[in-house]
């Protein structure tokens, strides 16, 4: 969740990084009483995310700056649209301009890419979800952007749910179906009934042993389309069926067509391209 504390801290850190000892350009070149009126303009089509960060940047650079007509998070826009107006003391606007754009461009790029995936599977019941493949320190912002684009949030971090992958099973000594079921049942007993347990498999013959342990979800990793469909059939209504690996805009519709409940897509966050936005003087 994108809380007030997270927004303030992210902006404070970004401004400190960009102007640790002040903005020497505006201090030397721009009169203290100069004012400027600008608009945030889209230079390509997309979906907006990062509006709260834009507002906070200018609040921190100069509380007299007015941010108005700010489009709502998740708004689809076309090239040439005005997404916000920013007006006030020129020094503060110019100092905050790049930081505000960096947040908005990065987050809107994620929201826009997510929207494309969501649209591609709209004819199915599959949900598009993010992963933990995020920029260190910016996870809350990037996962917020995924939600703005219509996606769902996977676990936020390692503290949220149990997700057992191949290396976990190897460390537990689970070398076959019997030992896998036993290890997962023991984990289930320790975790308690309210904790979700998701187990990753990469072969069809692993599914029954995992389901026998009473897990919450099965993550089908890097399966072919045919094997995904068979995996969904085997899982039935006994657990949530999730697909991951090899997901792209070219493949996501076929993956969704197998009947999986969730498709997790790492590239929503680690592969999104920043959107082209600009702050133009009126």
Write down the catalytic residue from 59, 132, 155, 165: 165
Report the C-alpha gap between 267 and 58 in whole angstroms: 30
Write down the catalytic residue from 8, 221, 230, 276: 221
Write down the catalytic residue from 98, 116, 155, 238: 98
Write down the catalytic residue from 133, 139, 185, 238: 133
Report the C-alpha gap between 200 and 219 in whole angstroms: 4
Catalytic residue flag (residue 133): yes
CA count, 13 A, side-chain hemisphere, 106 = 19
Catalytic residue flag (residue 221): yes
SS3 per-residue string spanning the chain: CCCHHHHHHHHHHHHHHHCECECHHHHHHCCCCCEEEEEEEECCCEECCCHHHHHHHHHHHCCCCEEECCCCCCCEECCCCEEEEEEEEHHHHHHHHHHHHHHHHHHHHHHHHHHHHHHHCCCCCCEEECCCCCCCCCHHHHHHHHHHCCCECCCCCCCCCEEECHHHHHHCCCCCHHHHHHHHHHHHHHHCCCCCEEEEECCHHHHHHHHCCCCCEEEEECCCHHHHHHHHHHHCCCCEEEEECCCCCCCHHHHHCCCCCEEECCHHHHCCCCCCEEEEEC
Report the C-alpha gap between 152 and 147 in whole angstroms: 6
Catalytic residue flag (residue 143): no
Which are the catalytic amino acids? 98, 133, 165, 200, 221
């Amino acid at each position: 969740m994108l809380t007030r504390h997270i927004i303030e801290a992210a902006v404070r850190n970004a401004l400190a990084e960009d102007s640790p000892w002040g903005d020497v350009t505006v201090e030397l070149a721009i009169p203290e009483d100069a004012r400027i009126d600008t608009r945030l303009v889209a230079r390509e089509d997309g979906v907006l995310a990062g509006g709260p960060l834009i507002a906070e940047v200018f609040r921190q650079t100069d509380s007299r700056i007015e941010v108005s007509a700010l489009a709502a998070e998740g708004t689809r826009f076309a090239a040439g649209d005005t997404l916000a107006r920013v007006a006030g003391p020129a020094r503060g606007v110019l100092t905050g301009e790049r930081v505000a754009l960096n947040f908005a461009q990065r987050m809107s790029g994620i929201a826009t890419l997510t929207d494309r995936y969501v649209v591609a599977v709209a004819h199915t019941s599959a949900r598009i979800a993010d992963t933990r493949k995020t920029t260190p320190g910016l996870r809350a912002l990037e996962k917020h952007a995924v939600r703005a684009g219509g996606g769902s949030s996977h676990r936020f971090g390692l503290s949220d749910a149990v997700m057992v992958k191949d290396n976990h099973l190897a460390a537990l000594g689970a070398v076959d179906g019997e030992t896998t079921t036993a290890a997962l049942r023991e984990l289930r007993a320790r975790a308690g009934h309210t904790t979700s347990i998701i187990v990753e498999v990469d072969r069809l013959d692993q599914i029954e042993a995992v389901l026998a342990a009473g897990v919450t979800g099965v993550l089908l990793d890097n399966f072919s389309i045919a094997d995904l469909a068979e995996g969904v059939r085997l899982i039935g209504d006994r657990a949530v069926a999730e697909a991951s690996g090899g997901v792209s805009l070219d493949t996501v519709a076929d993956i969704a067509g197998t009947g999986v409940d969730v498709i997790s897509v790492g590239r929503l966050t680690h592969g999104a391209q920043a959107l082209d936005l600009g702050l133009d003087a009126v």
